[in-house]
Structure 1
């Protein structure tokens, strides 16, 4: 019997259709085979596709949101993958969908933070729904690498300490050059007063 899973947020609605996988004993409200899905946006064209398209959407959007929360925004997905998402140059987020149909140009959508949050919520609700009983090939969350943690700090902040140290060293060196050198001490046994004055005539 056909099953429909529907998840609603303010700006989008995700609907997944499928059937129980009777070959593994599923029945009732279980959904073990995805036959199609659709994503309705407020004021945008409706998206639809097959199971692999839905998995591709989840494989890039969920890790992108995780990196965004960690303060390390980066682009996920690249050609020939059907879905790509990354920070938009003018702000917000750019979602690029490549169609598997020939002669169909890719669809690019600009999302703000609220729309991205709604998309992440409906995908998470689908992923965690107990009625969805099929394995999802999603990347396992892993801790950020040391370089990624370093990149969380802006470049100006990372360079402030070494540049400040170099500036302090240069300032100390410059001040040291301005201090006059001490006069050499007179040799013992030869007082400076015993030497005849320059230009004086010695007595006979």
Structure 2
């Protein structure tokens, strides 16, 4: 029996169609064989495809969102990958609703231009929630995998701190050192006092010398 499950958010709706994989011991309510999927995004064309396309979408969007939460936004996916996710230049003042994330989908058909979709933060959050619901739903056992989570590089961690804040502590230390050195130069050194001349020792009177 064909199964169909939906995962919905405000601006995103994902539908998964498939069948149980009886050879893997799945129950009658579990999708183990994907027959198709469809995603409706508000203001964008409907996306659909096969298992490989869904896997590529998960492998690009979720790692991108993880770096975004860590305040280290960076592109995910190479030019040859079927799905790419990248940040758009930060919006100017007064344009906070401007899309700041771009999803690029490459078609497997020759001579077909990539499809580009732009999202703001709220739309990206809805997309991530839908994909997370799919990935964590026990009724969907498709074996979809994600790239392993890796810790941020030292350079990426430093970039999270604003440059002005990173330079404040060293600059304050140099200023304190310069002030301490200046005060030390202004304090006069104590003068050295001459020690009194030592008087010559008195000649001892020999007890064997008779008095005169």
Q: 1:165-176 maps to which residues of 2 (within 5 A)?
A: 165-167=173-175, 169=177
Displacement after TM superposition at 1:171 (Å)? 6.4
SS at structure 2 position matched to 1:76: coil
State the partner residue of 2:157.
Answer: 149
State the partner residue of 2:53.
Answer: 53
Q: TM-score, normalised by structure 2?
A: 0.75
Q: Is structure 2 residue 181 aligned with structure 1 residue 159? A: no
| Alpha-carbon distance in 2 for matches of 1:27, 1:50 | 23
State the partner residue of 1:188.
Answer: none
| Alpha-carbon distance in 2 for matches of 1:171, 1:106 | 61
Displacement after TM superposition at 1:176 (Å)? 8.0
Stretches of structure 1 lacking an aligned partner (at least 5 in a row): 186-204
Residue among 125, 129, 136 paired with 1:121: 129
SS at structure 1 position matched to 2:160: coil
Q: 1:1-204 maps to which residues of 2 (within 5 A)?
A: 1-91=1-91, 92-167=100-175, 169=177
| Alpha-carbon distance in 1 for matches of 2:6, 2:45 | 18
Q: How many residues are paired up?
A: 188
Deviations 1:71-95 (A, max 9, x none): 2222111111111112111442111
SS at structure 2 position matched to 1:48: strand
SS at structure 2 position matched to 1:59: helix
Displacement after TM superposition at 1:181 (Å)? 9.1
Displacement after TM superposition at 1:166 (Å)? 3.9
Stretches of structure 2 lacking an aligned partner (at least 5 in a row): 92-99, 193-212
Deviations 1:118-142 (A, max 9, x none): 0011001101111112312212334
Instruction: Give me the CA root mean square deviation.
Output: 2.7
Q: TM-score, normalised by structure 1?
A: 0.78
Larger radius of gyration: 2
